[in-house]
Structure 1
Amino acid sequence: MTIDLDELMKVRAHFDAEVREGAQADAPQGHVERAGGVVRHVAPALGWNGVLWSDLDEGTADAEIAAQVAFFAGRGCPEFEWKLYDYDRPADLGDRLRAAGFVPEPPETLMVGLVSELAKLPVEPPEGITLRVVTDEAGVDLMMRVHAGAFGRERPRLREQLLGKLREEPETIAAVLAMAGDTPVSAARMEMRPGLAFAGLWGGGTIPEWRGRGIYRLLVAHRARLAAELGIAYLQVDASDDSRPILERLGFGVLGVTVPYMWTAAAS
């Protein structure tokens, strides 16, 4: 069952309040703070740094952008992200970020699904596929093999972030592999915080030769069942163009479009 438009707007407001403005740290040594007109995530070493939410207008945006650049540059961060949503204000915030030296990455569609409905999806693996829950370094390394094959790039920072979560906050992550014998062919994870209504689906990727067999759908269904057991109401995805049509068929609705704007010290 797809969420209707009126309900989607209520869900979006809930998402903004809980996941963005009311964000919690997503790394063991990270923290979230409100500074001026933004909420930002600050983390050491290989952790994720960035702006999650903003309350700006034409008169305050440029100064706030400059303040965040000065803050993260002053911490010695090699890069940080301003996570922009297409309904953020002012309407030309993306243009202002580009003028300040940020570079946009490909847009993604912000989608949400009802766990109560998604948990009903069948979870029978395609022929030749078994699921493996990731709990240790060996499992994370297999996930990184899948990511390299599915997305065409290595992710050393992500590897360290996942290992940190599994060691120090295992209750905030559920990671899974689809295996063809001893070969990992797809991987995905769910990140959540106890007591919150939303959990995020991340990293869903399948190596090219195994696509089109229902594995992505299987991993969504598997995580939805886990979310239902934990009392989570909604699953949220920043969907690529490849993932969006699959998720729409599964009943996910669109809340908006998000674009990661990246600032790097080397380019400044």
Structure 2
Amino acid sequence: MDDAALLRAYDEQLRTDAETPSAVSVERLGPLRLVTFRGRRGFVTYRDLGGVDAEEVRRLVAEGLARLTADPDITRIEWKTRGHDHAPGLHEALVAHGFVAGETESVMVGPLAGLAVDVPLPDGVTLRRVTAEADVRAMSAMQDEAFGEPVSEREADALLHRLSLDDGMELWVAETEGTIVSAGRLEPVAGSDFVGIWGGATLPAWRGRGIYRALTAARARSALAGGWTLAHSDSTEYSRPILERAGLRKVSTTTPYEWRR
């Protein structure tokens, strides 16, 4: 598949309800999907904006924000944008309504098999899949630390809720002497060819030692055993080169815009 075919598969198979499997609710507003998640979090996404002009974009942003914030329990909202969308004036409209642009990431798509390679681990580091509450909370806290965020019990609660749904999500960690140093999620997308490689985080002192590659390979082998063939990931500049070496290709970019009450 060339880059255009991979991007079509991404738009057609992933920009649907498959993008928000753990949603508490989903409301439609024209082309928008207004989503609420556990943990007092809102989310806005869409397949495309249907060729709208800048005036209509401003209206969609204003009304979408108003509908989500009408729920007093929602304290933060992410509006997910993609670099290849036709969305005139979207950045300006989001900023005008209090959204702040986050780090732009690469949308990586490609064959899953290229990720399933043998990677030597540093001495004393082991990989395993976790499901126990204590492990999930330790994993979530490590990810918050790796990303420079305050430790959030809400994020751990959301992961535990996902596990309770038994929807195929897998959590994997790398640890040494009982301490988790790297972690990530695997999210098979039902009815598609894709699995998502998400949440990859490694503590700074352990980066550059092959741990993320090994953790990704473990997730890829698990997904291949389940019959999936393609992988997708929104990747930081830490993980993008690793995925490129494994055959995934950058087909677009994605930038989250965050609003907080």
Instruction: Give 1:152's aligned residue.
Output: 148
Query: 5+ residue gaps in structure 1?
Result: none
Matches within 5 A, 1:52-71: 52-53=45-46, 54-56=48-50, 57-58=52-53, 59-71=55-67
**Change beyond 3 A, Cα 1:24–1:254:** closer
Shift of 1:25: 3.6
Matches within 5 A, 1:32-111: 32-43=26-37, 45-46=38-39, 48-53=41-46, 54-56=48-50, 57-58=52-53, 59-76=55-72, 77-111=74-108
Shift of 1:235: 1.3
1:13 paired residue among 3, 8, 28: 8
Partner of 1:177, secondary structure, is strand
- The one-character-per-residue Cα deviations of 1:4-46 (angstroms, maximum 9, x if unpaired) are xxx221221221222213435422x623343212123223x41
* In structure 2, C-alpha distance between the alignment counterparts of 1:52 and 1:107, rounded to whole Å: 16
Indicate yes or no: 2:198 matched with 1:205.
Answer: no
Instruction: Give 2:24's aligned residue.
Output: 30
8 Å CA contact 1:47, 1:161 repeated in 2: no
2:218 paired residue among 212, 217, 222: 222
Partner of 1:127, secondary structure, is coil
Indicate yes or no: 2:110 matched with 1:117.
Answer: no
8 Å CA contact 1:25, 1:31 repeated in 2: no
- The one-character-per-residue Cα deviations of 1:237-262 (angstroms, maximum 9, x if unpaired) are 11112221222122210011111011
Shift of 1:194: 2.8
Instruction: Give 2:245's aligned residue.
Output: 249
- The one-character-per-residue Cα deviations of 1:168-192 (angstroms, maximum 9, x if unpaired) are x233311111111212111111122
8 Å CA contact 1:84, 1:94 repeated in 2: no
* In structure 2, C-alpha distance between the alignment counterparts of 1:256 and 1:79, rounded to whole Å: 25
* In structure 2, C-alpha distance between the alignment counterparts of 1:17 and 1:211, rounded to whole Å: 35
Q: CA RMSD in A?
A: 1.9
8 Å CA contact 1:50, 1:82 repeated in 2: yes
**Letter of the aligned partner of 2:39 in structure 1?**
L
**Change beyond 3 A, Cα 1:24–1:251:** closer
* In structure 1, C-alpha distance between the alignment counterparts of 2:253 and 2:89, rounded to whole Å: 15
Partner of 1:11, secondary structure, is helix
Indicate yes or no: 2:227 matched with 1:234.
Answer: no
8 Å CA contact 1:24, 1:32 repeated in 2: no
**Change beyond 3 A, Cα 1:181–1:223:** same
**Change beyond 3 A, Cα 1:123–1:32:** farther
Query: 5+ residue gaps in structure 2?
Result: none
- The one-character-per-residue Cα deviations of 1:207-261 (angstroms, maximum 9, x if unpaired) are 1222221000001101111111111222111111222122212221001111101
* In structure 1, C-alpha distance between the alignment counterparts of 2:95 and 2:33, rounded to whole Å: 20
**Letter of the aligned partner of 2:63 in structure 1?**
A
Instruction: Give 1:181's aligned residue.
Output: 177
